[in-house]
Amino acid sequence: MNINSDRLWDREQEVGEFGRDERGGISRFAWTQEYREAALALIKWMKEAGLKVRVDTVGNIYGRYEGSEDLPPVLMGSHFDTVPMGGKFDGLAGVMTALEVLVSMREKNIKPKRPIEMIAFINEEASQFLGGHFGSKAICNMLPMNFADISVDRNTGKVLRQAMVEYNMGLDPDNFAGSFIKAEDYFAFIELHIEQGKYLLDADLPIAVIDDIAGIKQFYITFNGESAHAGGMAMKDRHDALAAAAATACEVERLALTSESRTRGTVGYVHVEPGEHNIVANKAIISVDFREARLDIWQRLYDDLIFFVENQCTNRNITYSVSSTINTEPCHCNDQLRKIIAESAEENNIPYMHMVSYPAHDAMQMGRLFPMAMIFLRSSNGGVSHCPNEYTTKEDLAAGADVLYTVIQKICNLDKVN
């Protein structure tokens, strides 16, 4: 084995405890005291491993292992925050395996050609400050410059600026630009992450090579009808906003099931006004979430749904509006890096499969800048994630780190990635 599986497991458990929630699971949100304690534990281990540590202006943590030549480094890592009442593996597995790879390299006194850096992204889950993938979006210059003033903790109302200052790790809410990285700054990016589903569990395999990350379209549709008496108003004379919304929710499911791909389509939220049992609804809002790896289908899903909504509204003589919250195109993992991951798994005698990631990851943002690939690890416990029962075994975590170790050795000796 390339790495020390006991050390990896113990550290995953130790740092994973920060943010223990008395309601169950782990709630380790970005820029909180719990997050700070976890970050300090991580930084201590990084320094012990001889890494050059820096925290950027928004709170992403980097650690650098020097190479023999002054070339753009290989970057690896994942996010360090959790959802409310989450587990110890989502995100953290990618950070701790990255650390373990570098600690093991140092123990073996390996001097790679290229430098290698690890990263712990901040606020990927957006548990308090909404948006999602904050850390990776910040460094890719995808956030408005005044984000620290317009982003507010949805539970407490605290402005992000204040949270960043109180975090007391030298962050600078006025200097998001200080966190930017450019395409030429790094050579490639690898993210290891747990699967958060059960394809690997069902296939009885520990790891997967990710081929594509599905694109996401997330939006709200508001239907505006007219309130009326549930008894008095004849069916033919109604302008029922909820009936239109309900039909649309079923259409989302139908479109996903008939897309000729493994599309996911979800309506997980509904708001109805006035929300009375004896009043026809004058307003209904639903959320729609489509995930699809093929670009043409990804676009068509939205167009087909809006066509359906327009028909609903015409037939019922009501109006609608759409507000988009996420519109991220599908992302293809680099072919050469995917091959390297597959070869590395074979060399370590770890069986694998290929897979599409339907959850989005920080890797999507990194993939806009430089070649990117992902490794998935099996989720045990029925594949559940984003909950206290989220679990990946010690053996699978070690298998992932073992493959990552080989992958990184191979990449840092390449001259270029095609």
Q: Which of 267/363 has CB closer to Zn ion?
A: 363
Signed CA dihedral, 27, 325, 263, 256: sign only:
positive
Q: Give the range of 53-61, 91-99, 177-185, 282-290 binding Zn ion by CB under 5 A.
A: 91-99
Asked if residue 94 binds Zn ion (CB under 5 A), the reply is: no
In the complex, the smallest distance separating the C-beta of residue 91 from Zn ion, rounded to whole angstroms, is 4
DSSP track, 118-147: EEEES-SS-SSSTTS-HHHHHHTT-S-TTH
Closest approach, Cβ 85 to Zn ion, in A, equals: 15
Q: Among residues 4 and 381, whose Cβ is nearest to Zn ion?
A: 381
Does 197 bind Zn ion (CB under 5 A)? Our answer is: no
Burial class of residue 307 (count of CB atoms within 10 Å of its CB; 0-12, 13-18, 19+): exposed
How many residues make up the chain in this entry? 418
- Residue (90 or 289) nearer to Zn ion, CB: 90
Please select the residue that binds Zn ion; options are 90, 100, 191, 292, rule is CB under 5 A: 90
- Taking CB under 5 A as the rule, does residue 81 contact Zn ion? no
Using the minimum distance from each CB to Zn ion, give the nearer residue, 49 or 366: 366
Cα–Cα dist 302/117, whole Å? 39
Residue 92 φ/ψ region, left for φ over 0, alpha for ψ in the -120 to 50 degree band, beta for the rest: alpha
Quick note: the x/- pattern for Zn ion over 346-385, rule CB under 5 A, is ----------------------------------------
Whichever of 114 and 193 has its CB closer to Zn ion, that residue is 193
From the CB of 353, what's the least distance to Zn ion, in Å?
A: 20
* 34/81 with CB nearer Zn ion: 81
Tell me the CA distances in angstroms from 176 to 8, 148, 153, 165, one per residue in order: 33, 9, 18, 13
Are 92 and 29 within 8 A, CB to CB? no
- C-alpha triplet 168, 174, 177: angle, nearest 5°: 105
d(CA 396, CA 389): 16
Question: Strands (DSSP E) along 1-111, which ranges?
Answer: 52-55, 61-65, 74-79
The single residue among 84, 91, 135, 383 that binds Zn ion, judged by CB under 5 A, is 91
Q: Which window, 87-95, 131-139, 161-169, 311-319, contacts Zn ion (CB under 5 A)?
A: 87-95
Sites of contact with Zn ion (CB under 5 A)? 90-91
